[in-house]
Amino acid sequence: MEEADGHFGADAHNNYWRDKSPHHEPWRFEAGFYQGWDDGLLFFNFKPGGSLTELGFKGEWTRRRLAEYVAAHGGSSYNWEFGKSHRSMTAGRQLTFV
pLDDT digits (tens, 9 = 90+) for 17-70: 777 777 778 888 889 988 988 887 777 777 666 555 566 677 888 899 999 999
Rounded Cα distance, 28 and 10, in Å? 10
Q: In whole angstroms, what is the distance from residue 51 CA to residue 44 CA?
A: 8
- The three-point CA angle 55-48-41 to 5° equals 40
Q: Are 97 and 44 in contact (CB under 8 A)?
A: yes
Answer yes or no: are the C-beta atoms of 84 and 29 closer than 8 Å: yes
What is the pLDDT confidence band of residue 92, given thresholds at 50, 70 and 90? low
**Quick check: pTM over 0.85?**
no
Question: Is the predicted pLDDT of residue 2 greater than 50, yes or no?
Answer: no
Q: What is the pLDDT of residue 1?
A: 30
DSSP 3-state of 41: helix
